[in-house]
Amino acid sequence: MEERFDKMENMLSQLIQMVGSMKAEQTEMKAEQAEMKAELTGMKAELTGMKAEQTGMKANQEEMKKDIAKIKADQEELKDTVNIFKHENEAAHQKMEETLKTLVSDQDFIWKKAVQNERDIARYVKQQN
């Protein structure tokens, strides 16, 4: 009988050890779980911050797109203005060129007449002498 009691006591002792080690493992798991929850909370906070930053960046990007569109519109307006000036300048240049051609033609004609008049005067003077 004593043997049986010893055996039972042994089994009970083993059972108590097993329950104790399970309790220790359970406590350790709870600590790890709490640590994981804390990490998860931190990660959620970081994610929220990143989302806010991303929203800010999107707003900046939209503002930059608007600025670029305005710059492009201004550039097109400047191109149109430059083209108008080019056409006006070209027209003025052509008008001036025509005027110069007319003046050159008039000068040639005047010189031709002057030479002819000089010849006529020289003949007339010769005939008078």
* 78, burial (CB in 10 Å: exposed 0-12, middle 13-18, buried 19+): exposed
Extract the tokens encoding 58. 């999107």
Give pTM, 2 decimals.
Answer: 0.51
For the chain, 129 residues long, give each residue's pLDDT as a single digit of tens: 888 888 888 998 998 999 889 999 999 999 999 999 999 999 999 999 999 999 999 999 999 999 999 999 999 999 999 999 999 999 999 999 999 999 999 999 999 999 999 999 999 999 987
